A and B are shown apart, each in its own frame.
Chain A
Amino acid sequence: MALKAVAFGLCLVPLARLLALAWLDRLGANPVEFVTRSSGTWTLVLLLAALAVTPARRLTGWSGLARIRRMVGLFAFFYACLHLSTYVWLDQWFDWEAMALDVLERPFIAAGMATWLVLLTLALTSTDGMVRRLGRRWQRLHRLVYLAGALAILHYAWHKAGKNLLGEPLIYGLVLSVLLGLRLWWSLRAARRKNPPVSAA
């Protein structure tokens, strides 16, 4: 259980850092922008980290890693909620009409909202009870995490696109592609083992 405790602590570090910076008045000239960006960054990082757990487990053989996958995923959702709250409260001051217009007129915000909705669905169905209840459907439902990853990167890329700053979103995209690619390769290999080509000598 030490692994879970360590993972829990590490996942809280970004939040602790934000609180410390806020306390020291070191959030910079535009604190709302800083908090929005920071929470968004950590959502994406933890989302990719959660997606990296299974490949890491398979590559290292450390089966214990499976225990932290749900926790890391839920922390990604936590930072996503922080990111959304910053937008709803500190940026828009609960102007629902303005936010509805944003979602309808600005693709990058729509992508962000969609990401959060997918993560919400995954969070709500993350409990042991839900795993039992949904059985085989749980596995299929939770493949939506790839969609969440892709939507999150799209949200970030669209936000940066107008200023030609696609460097960072591209890096995240590359990481997601590698993590997805690994899984694809493994599942293809498993399928080939089950049905070996007839012509194999």
Chain B
Amino acid sequence: MLFRIAQSDTPASSEITPRSTYADRRRLMLTGALAAPWLAGLPARTHAAGAAKLAGRASPLSTTEKPTSYKDATSYNNFFEFGTEKEDPARMASILKTRPWTVAVEGEVLKPRSFGIDDLLKLAPMEERVYRLRCVEGWSMVIPWVGYPLAELIRRVEPTGNAKYVEFITLADKAQMPGLWSSVLDWPYAEGLRLDEAMHPLTLLTLGIYGEVLPNQNGAPVRVVVPWKYGFKSGKSIVKIRFTENQPVSSWTRAAPHEYGFYSNVNPDVPHPRWSQATERRIGEDGFRQKKRKTLPFNGYGDQVSSLYAGMDLRKFF
């Protein structure tokens, strides 16, 4: 098993990514293109040889908890577009073509436009954010994501006064995604946030993990990470971002509205209908020597986000 030591929280000036590096898109593209044939078929147990590096400067918003092993984070995934078993995405996702890739931004914005993946890679300086990820199923990981606040992108498209929510649509291509033939969900996968949630400094437009570009099974080439909500809220492989006046309906809410709510903030006091959410299994901590941990309200990010929900009944708005 590979272990990644958590980086220190206070960045030395030598660690700050030079502008030339993140702006060097030609080098990044070439590495990515060369890496593609190597990445296909490689087991997800080791860092893929030749995977394009994506460094980010350290952030005070990172946790100091030990990151989950790269092997576990890239081989235990819920990405139903590639199959419903945890091993399926790592096995099947190599067929996903992540270049060329565009993210269309539309809806209640003054400057609707499309962003190519290279536009997104140089939109803002990359940061490494080591976040806890809590799945609604009751397991969790600590993942060093690389990206920048979604707010950076939102500012540039200038949402109008009617924009109250942001919707994220995932790619749904039957030619590349075998899971789409199953009706387990209504495709394409859709998720949504309130505008203030989307603008929050913690909400990350994510382009990499563990210092590299995102592996396909983790939602390549670009996804969103919202660490205080259950993991399914963090949409993967985004192709469209829509600003809306009305609350969007998430795919899982559509599938089982009494089990998956729009907010889905991590909350140990609000059980899932079929299991308690009071504890979680941190991946890497087996049950033989360690019991499950207590789940924290808002996944431990309460200090930063609880004010967003002041006065809201979180049992009603689950």
Q: Which residues of A contact B183 (CB under 8 A)?
A: 164
Given A106-B275, A162-B256, verify A30-B283 contact (CB < 8 Å): yes
The answer to whether A91 touches B274 (Cβ under 8 A) is no
Q: Which residues of A contact B71 (CB under 8 A)?
A: 29
From A159, which residue of chain B is reached at the shortest CB distance?
B274
Name which of B72, B183, B287 has the most chain A CB atoms within 10 A of its CB.
Answer: B287
The answer to whether B87 touches A28 (Cβ under 8 A) is yes
The answer to whether A102 touches B276 (Cβ under 8 A) is yes
Q: For residues 92 through 125 of chain B, which have their beta carbon under 8 Å from a beta carbon of chain A?
A: none
Given A93-B292, A101-B276, verify A164-B255 contact (CB < 8 Å): yes
Given A108-B274, A163-B184, verify A31-B287 contact (CB < 8 Å): yes
Q: For the complex, give the distance between the alpha carbons of A91 and B76 in Å.
A: 19
What's the least CB distance linking B69 to chain A, in Å? 8
The answer to whether A91 touches B292 (Cβ under 8 A) is yes
Q: Which residues of A contact B278 (CB under 8 A)?
A: 98
Q: For the side of the interface on B, what is the size category?
A: 20 to 34
Q: For residues 155 through 177 of chain A, which have their beta carbon under 8 Å from a beta carbon of chain B?
A: 158-159, 161-165
The answer to whether A29 touches B274 (Cβ under 8 A) is no
Q: Is B139 an interface residue (CB 8 A)?
A: yes
What 0/1 pattern do residues 45 to 78 of B give for CB contact below 8 A with A? 0000000000000000000000000011001100
Name which of A28, A29, A159, A164 has the most chain B CB atoms within 10 A of its CB.
Answer: A29
Which of A28, A93, A161 sits near B75, CB closer than 8 Å?
A28
Q: For residues 128 through 168 of chain A, which have their beta carbon under 8 Å from a beta carbon of chain B?
A: 158-159, 161-165
Q: For the complex, give the distance between the alpha carbons of A165 and B185 in Å.
A: 10
Q: Which residues of B contact A32 (CB under 8 A)?
A: 281, 286-287
Q: Which residues of A contact B274 (CB under 8 A)?
A: 106, 108, 158-159, 161-162
From B278, which residue of chain A is reached at the shortest CB distance?
A98
Which of A33, A105, A165 sits near B84, CB closer than 8 Å?
A165
What 0/1 pattern do residues 243 to 279 of B give for CB contact below 8 A with A? 0000000000001100100000000000111111010
Q: For the complex, give the distance between the alpha carbons of A184 and B310 in Å.
A: 61
What 0/1 pattern do residues 276 to 318 of B give for CB contact below 8 A with A? 1010010110111001100000000000000000000000000
Q: Is B240 an interface residue (CB 8 A)?
A: no
What's the least CB distance linking B286 to chain A, in Å? 5
Q: Which residues of B contact A105 (CB under 8 A)?
A: 271
Q: Which residues of A contact B86 (CB under 8 A)?
A: 28-30
Q: Which residues of A contact B87 (CB under 8 A)?
A: 28
Q: For residues 18 through 36 of chain A, which have their beta carbon under 8 Å from a beta carbon of chain B?
A: 25, 28-33
Q: Is A90 an interface residue (CB 8 A)?
A: yes
Q: For the complex, give the distance between the alpha carbons of A30 and B274 in Å.
A: 19
Given A30-B86, A90-B288, verify A162-B259 contact (CB < 8 Å): yes
The answer to whether A30 touches B281 (Cβ under 8 A) is yes
3 tightest Cβ-Cβ pairs between the two chains A and B: A90-B287, A29-B76, A29-B72
| Beyond A32-B287, A98-B276, A106-B274, 11 extra complex contacts between A and B, CB < 8 Å | A28-B87, A29-B71, A29-B86, A29-B284, A33-B139, A86-B287, A106-B273, A161-B274, A162-B259, A162-B274, A165-B184
Contacts from A to B (Cβ < 8 Å) = 25, 28-33, 86, 89-91, 93, 98, 101-102, 105-106, 108, 158-159, 161-165
